[in-house]
Structure 1
Amino acid sequence: MSKAISKTAGPIRCAIYTRKSSDEGLEQDFNSLDAQREACAAYIRSQASQGWTELAERYDDGGISGGTLERPALKRLMDDVAAGRIDIVVVYKVDRLSRSLFDFAKLVEAFEEADASFVSITQAFNTTSSMGRLTLNMLLSFAQFEREVTAERIRDKIAASKAKGMWMGGTPPLGYRPDGRSLAVVDEHAAIIRHIFTRYLAVCNVRQLETELQEQGIIAPLRTSNNGKLLGGVPFSRGTLYLILKRVTYTGRIAHGEKIYPGNHPAIIDVGTFDAVQAMLADNTQGQQRTRSDSTSLLAGRIVDSKGEPLIVTHTAKPSGRGEGGTSRYRYYVSRALAQGDSTTGIRLPAREIETLVTNRIATLFDDSIELTATAWLDLPADRYADVTERCRELAARQRQRQPEALALIEQVQVHDTRIDLVCRTSDIAAALDASTHPDAPATITLIETVRLTRSGRAMRLIQGDGQASTSVPDRSLTRLLVQARGWWTELRQGEIDISWLAAREQVSAAYITRVVRLAFLSPAVTAAILTGKQRTGVTARALTLDAPIPASWQKQASSMLPRASGR
């Protein structure tokens, strides 16, 4: 017997807990919950000589799975146990209390803290002995095994039904309505689907298709989902259009995982049209990927060191961590002598950092059309200012997108220890704006960006004057750590677990949990800077978890972690 059962002084207060997974039959006068309660009550009466008495309070959960602890009656039961109002919880079978071994361990811990216990009237065991706990764990393991086998059977049944072409429920795609284990076509909606496929093949671009549908006033029709929720009534988004264009259901087939089976429902789109759309989507995706991974070095042939010696383009390949055999390519601008091994000193700059700094600086110049006009000595009639302003906005956007033709106006980029000089041709600036230059205009203008070079391994990092790195790319490892810190702190503050238990679950030390959780108390300004990659250089995951504790004052956090201009 458990601690609570061994009591001899005073009555032993017994609470009966009952549960049923489905709500089938609960409307009957005498249902499964009543049957469980009656059996438990009879058992309690049989132990009257031991001082057992049944409490009048009912703890019944009908239609709720044992795979969760989010049950109203169970919560009331555990509150009363914690308050010391219950000595023994009596259940018909162990799996009425929980089907999860992990959840049951939490319940047992709560019982022990309250000096309470529980009894399963159909499964005899003693929870105070090691053999009793082994028996209990075996019973729970079999209960969990039974639930998992049932889930596997359901999944197998769904797979077999789909292989026969059946529609297995859920909200049907636009263009169809449910029709038993099949789908029926909704003609007016199907016409929209056919129009979307036809127009995509014509315009070859989802963004253009989205714009065209909006201009034509074609919106997603209003529908009602199976649970009564209203769908549609809004313009088609690009995400929705992608889902429609990729949905194999429109060809009269059923998809299950990677497999496709003939369906029992009629097709809206013929297979030839669908395959043509898939090919075009694949081509467009591959084209975008080639653009993103394009290794063209924007400053090749135009970047030099402080002595005018050219920096040449090199690269290294490292495992990407995205799968076996995958690699990532990292580009650098390197002093020629250093690259050729003739010297051990020189400059080695990450290409993306210097390119981002240059493109952002040029874009900033074009952000202010009036300043640009004065800086580049442009001759502009008054009636052209509006046109030039609009053109400047377009060019600034293209420069921030790192488009090579937008940087054609750069003649040279010279890297010094504390600054970078960007030499731009005024004639090219004027040509880009379809303007002319003043007769006395200089051939070039020099834009100066204050930075300092900081060594990071073999490479140099560009740090702007305010202490911020030249790129605003978020640190993924630090971002993940912030998310982890918030998640762990949310669990801990609920009071149901402690740091030791969390450390055991995550298989890390309690000290590491403590160091990570403190990141949940960073100021909103510091958090926002980290998420956008605008924190001060040196603010890394390693620094925040291994260095000195983070100051509690938000003002002190800002002064040490934000760029100086932002921290003041």
Structure 2
Amino acid sequence: MMSVRCAIYTCKSSEEGLEQSFNSLDAQREACAAYILSQASEGWVEVKTRYDDGGISGGTLERPGLKALMVDIAKGLIDIIVVYKVDRLTPSLLDFAKLVEAFDKAEVSFVSVTQAFNTTTSMGRLTLNMLLSFAQFEREVTAERIRDKIAASKAKGMWMGGIPPLGYRPDGRSLAIVQEYAALVRHIFARYLEVGNVRLLAQALDREGLHSPVRETATGKRIGGGAFTRGQLYLMFKCRTYLGEVQHKDSIYPGLHPAILDRNIWDQVQARLADNVRGKRSPTRARQASLLAGIVIDEAGVPLVSSHAVKDKRRYRYYVGKALHEKRADEGLRIPAREIEAAVAERLAQAFDDPLALLASARLPIESAGITTLDQRGRGLAARIRGMDCDIIRKLLVTVRVERDRIVLTCDTAVIAELLGSTPAEGTCSTMELISHVRLARTGLAMRLVREDGTAPAETSGQSLVKLIATAHRYWHVLRNEHIDITRLAEPEKVSNAWITRVLRLAFLSPEIVGAILKGKQKAGVDGGTLLAPGAISTLWSDQRQCFLLNQVLR
């Protein structure tokens, strides 16, 4: 009979009584050991390692004993976990779901000796599902009560938390005017009526030195301090709080707080915004539009301008520093659009690959979708984001800040909740940050994005390099098997002999180089232009590895 390795886990949230010679942890261990002994006929054997957590709250997974237990589970050293009660493992549904997922992945069962809870049997697994269902039901009822309370409170004109609009500060369940900032808000609305264009207004405010004031949220986080972006201005112009009103979904209610703007100014601004709205873009134009236009900023908070250049009838898009774009500086950021868009999309997709962790990081509750459907929904969203679904990506992002050694994505938690079927609880922060660990490296006039391992982010331009290599092999196959020369091959291809000659060199790249390019593991900056340059490709594969592969890839 094969032995079944059983690990006992004990936990006590307070330190009271732990100094005794026989304490709560010992009592839990004795009961679990007796249960294991009763299953000796099934081959159950207690492992010698102790996994105890005394004086540590069960509300966190950061417990030394539990972490040691999870490490040994990952190593395959344990078959069954035995606890005195389920809440000794964790009282949290979210944490419990994570642990169950980890147990299932490692094919480990767990047993609660005082609750007849044993996931090694079909009845135990049914009990587990019932437990999760009732816990989820309780959470959903609580969420519904919170939503109903928020709706009822807003109908009475109350302020229900979050970051107040510029010009206000929290005042109990209402808002009080900050006169200094309120004057700035009135000035911005008046300036828009003078300028008539949000982009030009943002530039004018920047020239005048009028920047977003530095404010501190209830959690101590500092916001503002940079130039006003178009996105911030559009949100300001649509914020009905300035009229002394409270909006809840599609309903508008009179607020308890005083108004900053009068109705006449508000109506004039709304009319001007409506007049400036253009028709829908054609699909072709929409595909070519810059995904991050209006939301990508540099380390100082200055917006990057979407720009492009045309060479050989091909359009190359960039995000350029404002000073460089306006020719007020000779140096500045000039980042290939495809690279940063690919890096941003990949980081968002990685976040949705683990929707439970994303909800926990955003401090959002799990809603009715449930844990199983949540994982499926997260994978579907991750696939759409990797497919560059512009609507989802634009909805998620508030700003994209490019720093020297990373990109900081500020995401809208309300949109995350909507996509994953959750509902923000009262007091939930309106945004969260995701970090993409890529750094800037200069190559010629442009700044390239490089991962920590030295490779470039996966980008759509890599597809053109793969097509170029495929074309080279097709040319070589034709020349070798159809007994024609380069001139006869160039005629139907409608290219020059020189072009055929340059492309053919790619057919003699080593298999290792080609494999690295297919996986996106070549050195940053290795593209079609690099490989087609005269003398770029050596006949020696060792020289090719040195030129085109990262040091850690070399064998």
Q: What TM-score results when the alignment is normalised by the length of structure 2?
A: 0.49
Which is greater in Rg?
1
Q: Which has the higher contact order (CA 8 A, sep 6+)?
A: 2
